[in-house]
Amino acid sequence: MLNTPRYGRKVRNAYREMQKKSKALYECPKCGKKKLKRISFAVWQCKSCGATIAGGAYQPNTEAGLNALRIIKG
């Protein structure tokens, strides 16, 4: 999609990084296996245990969410 020089280097690199993050497998918070995959916007599902969780748009844990957990745990 953004492989043409039309959009600029910074935009293409940002898009490429976003795609890598959204397509990667992450560790499931329920079973601990690295099988958590994005199935739609902010919805993540584990292929192993079948758990479905809500998270960030492109990563299951966002920086804001991690900061909130740190504050709550105190």
Supply 56's token pair: 């960030």
Distance CA 49, CA 34 (A): 11
**Which of residues 6 and 1 earns the better pLDDT score?**
6
Q: Domain 25-73 falls in which CATH fold?
A: N-terminal domain of TfIIb (2.20.25)
Q: So where are the chain's domains? A: 25-73
6-26 pLDDT per residue, tens: 778 898 899 899 999 899 999
Measured from the Cβ of residue 38, the count of other Cβ atoms closer than 10 Å reads 21
Helix (H, G, I), strand (E, B) or coil at 35: coil
